[in-house]
Amino acid sequence: MKLTKPFFWVLLFALIFVTSGVVGAAPLPQDEDGQEYVVQADDWLSKIADKFYGDVLAYPTIMDATNAKAAEDESFAVIDDANVIEVGQKLWIPAAPDGEAMESMEAEAPADTATTDEAMASADSPTIELRLLETTDIHVHIMNYNYFSDSEDDAVGLAKTATLIKQAREEATNSLLIDNGDLIQGNPMGDYMARVQGLDDG
């Protein structure tokens, strides 16, 4: 069968594309001592350790081996923090250790994080003081008005609440205000009756 030029070029490009795809999917070089690995999205050292060794606590082996390789070959990543690796970095995955070596490695592996109590007890842990401010129901007293005496009263109302909050905040560098009460508790018409319509004498 005689091929036309356009068909020939299409076939040639298709062969090149398929070949490049096969090459791109090929695994990284391996040997008896281990293999190279390129960090993928959503990877972290413990996950990679679990993938190759079946143990998330084996990550120090990968970290140490990769840093050793980086000292000889700058194409390998230098890992300063076991919690920080980036997509595209090249790691060295040593061959899986035997059972005894794996048990020893697990025993020596550092804990990922300290508990909250331990961190707070550490002398190096920063501590802060926080003042919690709390308001409750203002019992209809939105205005500075006493409905029983039918007269102004600066001891109640939102203005008084704001003054107390301001004073408390000035006494503490860090404060948090929590309003756990109703804005109006009781008769919502209190201010209307006192300020607008008024009360009958007697």
Asked if pLDDT for residue 93 goes beyond 90, the answer is: yes
**Angstrom distances, CA of residue 99 to CA of 22, 139, 165:** 36, 71, 64
**Residue ranges per domain, the chain?**
30-108, 131-197
pLDDT digits (tens, 9 = 90+) for 118-140: 555 555 557 778 888 877 766 65
pLDDT digits (tens, 9 = 90+) for 9-48: 666 666 665 554 444 433 455 566 889 999 998 898 989 9
**pTM score:** 0.38
Cβ density class 6-19: b for 16+ within 10 Å, e for less: eeeeeeeeeeeeee
Just give the CATH number of 30-108: 3.10.350.10
pLDDT of residue 27: 44
